[in-house]
């Protein structure tokens, strides 16, 4: 059985943006009114899995998207994934 965390904080920020910071392994949430939250200990693998979880679960986020430029962002993401993982390569196996 999954145990609840010993500490849980909940915040709300209207129109917040989020990014992962490579040099200190943090997720940073900020709004445009000078409010921010930083959570440390999130390495690249963990943040990558969080992105995957948002897009590849039973109820992905795509139906919730409202921004007009999301198609361009998706194309940018696809190109970055193809470059990073050389998807067309014969070296890629199902185990990867």
More confident residue, 4 or 77: 77
Question: pTM of the predicted model, to two decimals?
Answer: 0.73
Which of 24, 18, 63, 66 shows the shortest CA–CA distance to 44? 24
> In this structure, is residue 5 part of a structural domain?
no
> In this structure, is residue 2 part of a structural domain?
no
Cα Rg of the chain, angstroms: 17
**Which residues in 1-73 belong to E strands, given as ranges?**
17-21, 26-30, 36-40
> In this structure, is residue 4 part of a structural domain?
no
Encode pLDDT of 6-46 as tens digits: 888 899 998 999 999 999 999 999 998 989 999 999 999 99
User: Residue 25: exposed, middle, or buried by beta-carbon count in 10 A (0-12, 13-18, 19+)?
Assistant: middle
Is residue 89 predicted with pLDDT exceeding 80? no
Domain span at residue 38 reads 17-85
> In this structure, is residue 46 part of a structural domain?
yes
> In this structure, is residue 10 part of a structural domain?
no
> What total of structural domains would you count in the chain?
1
> In this structure, is residue 92 part of a structural domain?
no
> In this structure, is residue 24 part of a structural domain?
yes
> Both tokens of residue 31?
């709004």
């Amino acid at each position: 059985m999954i145990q609840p965390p010993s500490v849980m904080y909940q915040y709300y920020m209207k129109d917040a943006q989020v990014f992962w910071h490579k040099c200190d392994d943090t997720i940073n949430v900020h709004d445009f009114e000078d409010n921010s939250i930083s959570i440390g200990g999130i390495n690249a693998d963990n943040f990558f899995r969080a992105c995957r979880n948002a897009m590849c679960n039973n109820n992905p986020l795509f139906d919730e998207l409202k921004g007009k430029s999301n198609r361009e962002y998706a194309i940018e993401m696809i190109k970055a994934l193809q470059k990073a993982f050389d998807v067309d390569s014969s070296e890629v196996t199902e185990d990867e």
